[in-house]
């Protein structure tokens, strides 16, 4: 049985290659002249010849062992445009004992001994590669100029006569800002996507579908009914939302190959291209958080209800000093209020065998410590910004050198290919002297391509060598940090975003005392000891209690009275938490217990004696806290009495527990 195979690709130039019907006509006329009849036709319309996974061709090869003896095609390019595969296919026909006739190329597998078949099939392959290269170059030119029209991401729509501008869609922009805020607050991809779905927020594909219907377009594009982790991640990864337009993010290396991600440094980037939805500081913070959470295997804020108060603002940066585990948030209900604590997660779940202490830390006490420390650092940070004029070249220089080494290795590889090509060219001419002109033309084309590649790489290498490393974002980040510091000092507390911007990490020791490390090197500029600060704060209260007793003309005092007075002065002390200070007054001989419950503590010192004790108390105290500045000067507190042991348990000293 005789079979004819015809193929037409959408990539083919219709002026140079016949249509399906014309191919059949040419094959039929050739067969009639030789008294042959084409019994069956196999065809592939609109399929590239570079790939061999074609329906018609696959069926032909399956039927070859059944009842087909002879296959006729118009020319080798209709059979395929892959040089190596075509040559293997010819061998396969001979091994199967089948007859192949290629009409226009005058090839007959039973009688032909043409040595130029390889060159013919190579030219066919070059055609499809050149076509692909021209398309890629045309797209590349538009990408390089930033004029390629692409589909805008969620949050934007195209405007203008030629759809050349991007416009923010305000409702969608609100959802995007919400996603960034939730991530900074501690929510993960899954929690954010679940929340958006529950709130009925339309997915990006829903929005796209609505726009297509508004424009009168009807497509079969899949529409997602619910938000997924991937959608949230894509929005958090996309720097389009800070005004950057990126092109050539994906590219393919071979004809009909798979698109692969292009490294960011090789993409075409246009800054300030369109109005941003997210500010750069927020975007950079999210990228930093993603990297930190990947390293620490962060699992999100468990038990947190989105939209309510964040129960654990320090959850991402608080660690146990002894075992290194994170501190987990817990709550304790008291008669007055709910008190929030952090406790070592290892101790909390596995017990004393794995971590001997709870490392218990009350959230409000920690907040006070951090705010106090930040207040100390404020002036130092100002001076760092003012004095910043030295760029850190080391890291960037190393990166440039690595890139140069990589490009040089690629240049050496291409030059090696050129030497191999030249050697092979000499061998082919020696074996086929009659085809010397044709062989030279074939090899010259490849040689020119490789030479151009070397030139491009050498230009890129020279540009990199002339690049001066710079780190312009450091000063801007320091200014951002100063703004955050001023805002914290003004409001007296930190939210999750402030913590992520400023705090590198906090380790809590077995006594519940924090060791705070700030970003931007601030912790190296200002000395801060939580134990010393605790001692200073406690003795400040002791001094205040002595003065309250001195000013009390009733001749007695009580825990209730001292608690009310201290709370009015901003110390927020309950009757129970005042008792340790009353004990100190008893030990110093200032008051003594009385059986009269209405007058529980009798004052036994006179006002003059108390004045003398207060004066001696201030003069004999050692300084325990200094505020440092960038120039090394120290500013001491007005009074820093040192009565308590600096290693005392924080829970006892501060809370009277």
pLDDT, tens digit, 9 for 90 and up, residues 416-444: 877 777 777 777 777 777 777 777 777 77
Query: DSSP letter at 326?
Result: B
Most confident range (mean pLDDT) of 49-63, 168-182, 335-349, 484-498 is: 168-182
> What are the tens digits of pLDDT across the range 593-634?
998 888 899 999 999 999 888 888 877 665 444 444 334 334
> What are the tens digits of pLDDT across the range 287-320?
888 887 776 666 555 444 444 444 578 877 888 9
Query: Rounded distance, CA 561 to CA 316, Å?
Result: 40
Structure token digits, residue 58: 């696959």
Are the CB atoms for 238 and 137 separated by under 8 Å? no
User: How confident is the prediction for the chain on average, in pLDDT?
Assistant: 75
Q: Which ranges of 258-393 does DSSP label H, i.e. alpha helix?
A: 280-296, 345-350, 363-387
Q: Burial of 225 by CB count in 10 Å (0-12 exposed, 13-18 middle, 19+ buried)?
A: exposed
Give percent above pLDDT 70 in the chain: 71
Are the CB atoms for 286 and 184 separated by under 8 Å? yes
> What are the tens digits of pLDDT across the range 100-154?
888 877 777 777 655 556 556 555 556 555 555 555 555 555 545 545 456 788 8
Long-range contacts of 167-174 (CB under 8 A, 24+ apart): 167/275, 168/275, 168/277, 172/207, 173/277
Query: Rounded distance, CA 402 to CA 254, Å?
Result: 26
**pLDDT the model gives residue 481:** 67
Going by C-alpha positions, the residue among 271, 269, 363 that lies closest to residue 309 is 363
pLDDT of 398 higher than 70: no
Query: DSSP letter at 570?
Result: T
> What are the tens digits of pLDDT across the range 360-389?
888 888 888 888 888 877 776 676 666 544
Query: Rounded distance, CA 398 to CA 179, Å?
Result: 36
Are the CB atoms for 236 and 180 separated by under 8 Å? yes
Indicate the SS3 state at residue 342. Answer: strand
pLDDT of 470 higher than 60: no
Most confident range (mean pLDDT) of 106-110, 390-394, 512-516, 559-563 is: 559-563
Stronger pLDDT, 629 or 17, i.e. the higher one: 17
Whole-model pTM?
0.52
Residue 344, phi then psi, degrees to nearest 5: -55, 125
Enumerate residues 6+ apart whose C-beta is below 8 A from 571. 541, 544
Q: Which ranges of 492-606 does DSSP label H, i.e. alpha helix?
A: 496-502, 530-550, 559-568, 575-587
Residue 69, phi then psi, degrees to nearest 5: -110, -35
């Amino acid at each position: 049985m005789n079979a004819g195979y015809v193929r037409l690709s959408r990539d083919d130039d219709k002026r140079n290659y016949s249509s399906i019907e014309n191919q059949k006509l040419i094959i039929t006329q050739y067969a009639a002249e030789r008294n042959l009849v084409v019994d069956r036709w196999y065809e592939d319309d609109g399929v590239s010849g570079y790939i061999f996974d074609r329906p018609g061709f696959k069926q032909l090869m399956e039927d070859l062992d059944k009842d087909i003896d002879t296959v006729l095609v118009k020319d080798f390019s209709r059979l395929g445009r892959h040089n190596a595969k075509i040559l293997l296919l010819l061998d396969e026909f001979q091994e199967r004992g089948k007859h192949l006739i290629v009409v226009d190329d005058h090839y007959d597998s039973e009688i032909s001994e043409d040595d130029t078949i390889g060159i013919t099939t190579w030219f066919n392959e070059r055609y499809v590669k050149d076509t692909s290269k021209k398309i890629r170059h045309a797209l590349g030119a538009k990408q390089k100029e930033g004029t390629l029209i692409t589909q805008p991401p969620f949050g934007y729509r195209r405007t203008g006569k030629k759809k050349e501008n991007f416009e923010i869609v305000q409702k969608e922009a609100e959802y995007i800002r919400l996603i960034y805020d939730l991530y900074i607050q501690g929510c993960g991809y899954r929690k954010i996507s679940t929340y958006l779905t529950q709130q009925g927020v339309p997915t990006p594909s829903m929005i796209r579908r609505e726009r297509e219907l508004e424009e009168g377009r009807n497509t079969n594009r899949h529409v997602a009914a619910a938000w997924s982790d991937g959608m949230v991640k894509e929005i958090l990864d996309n720097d389009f939302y800070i005004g950057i337009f990126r092109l050539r993010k994906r590219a393919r290396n071979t004809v009909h190959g798979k698109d692969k991600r292009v490294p960011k440094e090789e993409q075409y980037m246009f800054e300030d291209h369109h109005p941003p939805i997210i500010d750069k500081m927020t975007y950079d913070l999210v990228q930093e958080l993603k990297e930190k959470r990947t390293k620490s295997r962060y699992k999100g804020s468990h038990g947190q209800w989105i939209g309510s108060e964040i129960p654990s603002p320090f959850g991402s940066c608080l660690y146990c000093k002894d075992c290194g585990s994170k501190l987990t948030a817990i709550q304790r209900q008291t008669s007055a209020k709910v008190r929030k604590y952090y406790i070592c997660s290892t101790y909390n779940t596995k017990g004393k065998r794995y971590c001997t202490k709870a490392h218990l830390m009350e959230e409000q006490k920690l907040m006070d410590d951090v705010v106090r420390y930040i207040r100390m650092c404020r002036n130092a940070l100002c001076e760092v910004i003012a004095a910043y004029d030295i760029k850190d070249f080391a890291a960037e220089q190393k990166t440039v050198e690595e890139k140069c080494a990589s490009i040089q290795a690629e240049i050496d590889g291409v030059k090696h290919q050129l030497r191999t090509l030249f050697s092979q060219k000499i061998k082919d001419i020696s074996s086929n002297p009659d085809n010397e002109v044709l062989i030279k033309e074939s090899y010259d084309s490849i040689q020119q391509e490789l030479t151009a590649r070397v030139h491009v790489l050498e230009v890129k290498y020279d540009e990199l060598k002339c690049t001066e490393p710079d780190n312009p974002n450091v000063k801007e980040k320091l200014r951002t940090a100063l703004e955050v510091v001023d805002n914290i000092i003004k409001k007296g507390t930190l939210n999750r975003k402030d913590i992520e911007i400023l705090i590198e990490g906090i380790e809590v020791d077995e006594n519940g005392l924090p060791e705070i490390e700030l970003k931007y090197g601030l912790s190296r500029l200002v000395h801060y000891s939580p134990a010393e600060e605790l001692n200073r704060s406690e003795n400040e209260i002791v001094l205040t209690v002595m003065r309250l007793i001195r000013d009390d003309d009733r001749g007695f005092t009580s825990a209730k009275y001292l608690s009310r007075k201290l709370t009015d002065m901003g110390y927020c002390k309950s009757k129970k938490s005042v008792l340790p200070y009353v004990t100190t007054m008893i030990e110093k001989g200032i008051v003594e217990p009385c059986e009269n419950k209405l007058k529980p503590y009798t004052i036994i010192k006179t006002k003059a004696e108390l004045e003398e004790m207060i004066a001696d108390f201030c003069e004999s105290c050692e300084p325990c806290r200094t505020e440092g500045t960038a120039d090394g000067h120290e500013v001491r507190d007005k009074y820093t009495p040192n009565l308590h042991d600096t290693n005392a348990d924080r829970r006892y000293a501060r809370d009277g527990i």
